[in-house]
Amino acid sequence: MEQFRHLPMPFHWKQEELKFKTALRRLQHRVGEIHLLREALQKGAEAGQVSLHSLIETPANGTGPSEALAMLLQETTGELEAAKALVLKRIQIWKRQQQLAGNGAPFEESLAPLQERCESLVDIYSQLQQEVGAAGGELEPKTRALLIGRLDEVLRTLVTSCFLVEKQPPQVLKTQTKFQAGVRFLLGLRFLGAPAKPPLVRADMVTEKQARELSVPQRPGAGAESTGEIINNTVPLENSIPGNCCSALFKNLLLKKIKRCERKGTESVTEEKCAVLFSASFTLGPGKLPIQLQALSLPLVVIVHGNQDNNAKATILWDNAFSEMDRVPFVVAERVPWEKMCETLNLKFMAEVGTNRGLLPEHFLFLAQKIFNDNSLSMEAFQHRSVSWSQFNKEILLGRGFTFWQWFDGVLDLTKRCLRSYWSDRLIIGFISKQYVTSLLLNEPDGTFLLRFSDSEIGGITIAHVIRGQDGSPQIENIQPFSAKDLSIRSLGDRIRDLAQLKNLYPKKPKDEAFRSHYKPEQMGKDGRGYVPATIKMTVERDQPLPTPELQMPTMVPSYDLGMAPDSSMSMQLGPDMVPQVYPPHSHSIPPYQGLSPEESVNVLSAFQEPHLQMPPSLGQMSLPFDQPHPQGLLPCQPQEHAVSSPDPLLCSDVTMVEDSCLSQPVTAFPQGTWIGEDIFPPLLPPTEQDLTKLLLEGQGESGGGSLGAQPLLQPSHYGQSGISMSHMDLRANPSW
């Protein structure tokens, strides 16, 4: 087995099983020889002696039949000890497999084959013991005592090794929480029979130090002190004839409290390992030989609050993965090869999520970069490196607030709860960095996307997709990560369906083809109660190209050239608190303004955010105060917030204008029905740089008493209120905008 490690494990099991069966048959044959030789010696049959001597290959030095019998007994006892060693090794392998199963490794739980082996060796032991006892005077007292001692040691080792924890308690154990455990005695059917009072099995909590002391011979009663109070901790050890086993099942164990021991250095409570010790006592055979059975559970971590669960699981994962057989409890390596860590993470991921799709080499590369804080792109760079316990779950990741394991465990939980089917269908790349996403998607067409686990948040998945910037260059956008709570409200598949900008799953698979089986069928018509169904849809805050940063307009009403005759004038009255502020001109360039076609309606900005705006029936001089009621037929304009960064101007919904009604002709006089009947209003166009400069100079002129000689911006009206001169406003689209 050492020479052919590359062969599959079933081959090794078959090889080991064949080896044991061969040893067992040889033992049975040897016992038959011993029986025949002993009977021949006792009967004194000369012919039988010669025949037996030829069978057992008497040495050429002329030893007699008695010496031959003693030698045959010693050889057979040695073979029994070798067979016992095979069984004990197989028991240790079973225990190790049981521990690895805690991390998700496959495990054959059945103890029936091991029980059969142990019982067959006990049968050989019984036959040999009878032969030694029957030989009596044929053996020297010293030889006989030596043989009996060796045989008793075989039995004692078998009996104590066959008491196993069949059902392990939870390895992360919370106080005040019920749990179950079970033990099995493989030789119970041979030695216990049906006693009037079956022995009791007791469960006690022990520390790591106490567990180490169990291997040292103890005086009676020593080492029995418990480090925690367990309720309902005694159960009878009984034979089950239908189940062909002897076992004890603890159904209602409860750890009431735990006594913490002194910890080493920076060790936290979630690194402190304990165990449950199961013990039982009974007498064996006619001689009433006292037997003490003890079985130690796998190491466990006791927690008192749910927020300790994550770190406790890290301690157990490390111990289960990297401990050795026959170790001193609970010693484990502080540093392990990265390749072994990859195997462990893969096993844990597949078992926890419940999928047969494991991690890929590319995933391990990302995980290595994360845990080692190394951006090497070659897998060979990490092949021969080792990872420490501190790197795994004590050191905080660079630029983050959590450890590597805390982040990985969050991914496990999210995938198990919400993403199992997506992962199994290979729709999620998952373990990939933002930088690598950029290299994958940058040359892909718009709408190409992939799914990756959030690198900066615990338990989040995000969508990375390609969009085009305003300059036409490709950009990678990462949507805010979704948590398990988010996905419980609306599934990942439905969220992807909601976003029209997502088109193809990387590399080129249409999203509907990839995710159709994950879409929730939409309900059509009314439900059973007569209601029309409602649903939640996901949108991304920004589905359109971002506006350029230069588009910043002051919240003021400039004066525009309306193209009127020099003697015509138009004014609009303002309240004293509505005088517009004068801002300095912008230092940056202003993007060009695209004129509208004659068929398009023009959107109008609400200049002063007033609750109502009045228009007179004619556009000669207008000087009505704002607090007067609307003229008949004029509709009020509802105020709206003006967000400069919005790509579309905010409109008063009841004010529109057909451009060819006024922009194509000089404005001298307007018919009565032009503004009222058709509900048309001239647009307020953005100011030019010259307008802004002029306003600044006029504002400075006002503050300086008009020393610059500029025409005042705010002119007195007939009602003694401020007004804005609009005699120079031009309704035509300004080409500079």
Task: Output the domain CATH number for residue 75.
Answer: 1.20.1050.20
| CATH number, domain containing residue 286 | 2.60.40.630
- Asked if residue 544 is part of any domain, the answer here is no
Q: Is the peptide bond before 286 cis (omega within 30 degrees of 0)?
A: no
pLDDT tens for each residue of 95-115 = 999 999 999 999 988 999 999
- Tell me the C-alpha distance between 232 and 253, whole Å: 5
Sequence-distant contacts of 104-112: CB under 8 A, at least 24 apart: 104/347, 104/348, 104/349, 104/350, 104/351, 104/352, 105/347, 105/351, 109/166, 111/164, 111/166, 111/184, 111/186, 111/245, 112/244
Query: Do 371 and 448 reside in the same domain of the chain?
Result: yes
435 and 288 in a common domain = no
Residue 388 is assigned to a structural domain of this protein: yes
Least confident range from 62-71, 293-302, 401-410, 644-653: namely 644-653
Considering the domain architecture, whether residues 627 and 652 belong to the same structural domain is answered as yes
A 10 A CB-CB count for 62 gives 7
Using alpha carbons, select from 346, 344, 339 the residue that is nearest to residue 380: 339
CB of 187 closer than 8 Å to CB of 244: no
SS3 471: coil
Q: Which range among 176-180, 558-562, 574-578 shows the weakest confidence by mean pLDDT?
A: 558-562
Least confident of 216-230, 440-454, 502-516, 719-733: 719-733
Contact by Cβ (8 Å): 491, 569: no
Q: Is residue 430 part of a domain?
A: yes
Whether 267 and 389 map to the same domain: the answer is no
Q: How far apart are CA 202 and CA 282, in angstroms?
A: 13
pLDDT on residue 569: 39
* 205 and 253 share one domain: yes
CA-based nearest residue to 364, from 340, 388, 391: 340
**Tokens in use for 182?**
């079970």
As a whole number, mean pLDDT of residues 7-11 equals: 64
More confident residue, 697 or 492: 492
Cβ 379 vs Cβ 372: under 8 Å: no
Q: How many residues does the chain have?
A: 737
What is the edge-to-edge ordering of all strands in the sheet holding 571-573? Answer: 571-573, 722-725, 714-716
Nearest to 177, CA basis, from 302, 17, 25, 48: 302
Which residues partner with 448 through β-bridges? Answer: 504
Residue 104, in any domain of the structure: yes
Q: Which residues of 462-491 are buried (b: 16+ CB within 10 A; e: fewer)?
A: bbbbbbeeeeeebbbeebebbbbebbeebb
* Its pTM surpasses 0.75: no
| Lowest mean per-residue pLDDT among 23-37, 137-151, 613-627 | 613-627
Residue 138's nearest CA partner among 88, 67, 226, 63 is: 67
Predicted local distance difference test score (pLDDT) of residue 357: 95
Same domain, 295 and 386: no
Mean pLDDT of the chain: 76
- Position 243 scores a pLDDT of 80
Say whether both 568 and 636 belong to one domain: yes
In this prediction, residues 52-73 reach a mean pLDDT of 66
Contacts of 34 (CB under 8 A, 6+ apart): 69, 72, 73, 76, 128, 131
144, two tokens: 């006989």
Residues 518-555, buried b or exposed e (16+ Cβ, 10 A)?
Answer: beeeeeeeeeeeeeeeeeeeeeeeeeeeeeeeeeebbe
| CA 17 to the chain's CA centroid | 40
DSSP assignment of 634-679 equals PPPPPP----TT-SS----TT-B-BGGGTTTS--S---HHHHHTS-
Does residue 150 lie within any of the structural domains?
yes
579, 722 Cβ separation under 8 angstroms: yes
Q: Where are the beta strands (DSSP E) in 460-557?
A: 461-468, 474-478, 504-505, 509-510
* Per-residue pLDDT band at 375 (split at 50, 70, 90): confident
Q: Which residues pair with 717 in a beta bridge?
A: none
Domain boundary among 253, 287, 322: 322
513 has a pLDDT exceeding 90:
yes
pLDDT in tens, 278-297: 999 988 776 778 889 999 99
729 and 627 within one domain: yes
157 and 179 inside one domain: no
Lowest mean pLDDT among 159-163, 358-362, 667-671: 667-671
Strands 504-505 and 448-453, sheet pairing: parallel
Mean pLDDT of the region 676-685: 45
Query: Domain ends where: 518, 542, 569?
Result: 518
d(CA 704, CA 696): 12
Closest CA relative to residue 80, chosen from 137, 23, 145: 23
| pLDDT for position 231 | 95
pLDDT of residue 198: 87
| Token digits of residue 368 | 């290595």
Indicate whether 649 and 603 sit together in one domain.
yes
- Structural domain range at position 61: 9-161
Strand pairing class (172-174; 301-303): parallel
Give the count of domains, the chain.
4
Which are the contacts of 120, defined by CB distance < 8 A and separation ≥ 6?
24
Q: Do residue 673 and residue 717 come from a single domain?
A: yes
What proportion of the chain, given as a percentage, has pLDDT over 90? 49
Q: Tell me the CA distances in angstroms from 627 to 370, 573, 631, 638, one per residue in order.
A: 67, 10, 12, 15
Work out the average pLDDT over 383-411: 95
Among candidate residues 494, 518, 542, the one where a domain is terminated = 518
Assess if residue 542 is contained within a domain. Answer: no
- Report the CATH number at residue 472: 3.30.505.10
- Measured over the CA atoms of residue 409, residue 412, residue 413 and residue 414, the dihedral's sign is positive
pLDDT score of 649 more than 60: no
Q: Are strands 461-468 and 448-453 parallel, antiparallel or unpaired?
A: antiparallel
The lowest-confidence range among 456-465, 506-515, 549-558 is 549-558
> Residue 658: inside a domain, yes or no?
yes
The CA-to-CA distance between both ends of the chain, in Å, stands at 84
Q: Please check whether residues 373 and 287 belong to one and the same domain.
A: no
The pLDDT-based confidence of 685 (bands split at 50, 70, 90) is low
Q: Does the residue 371 lie in any domain?
A: yes
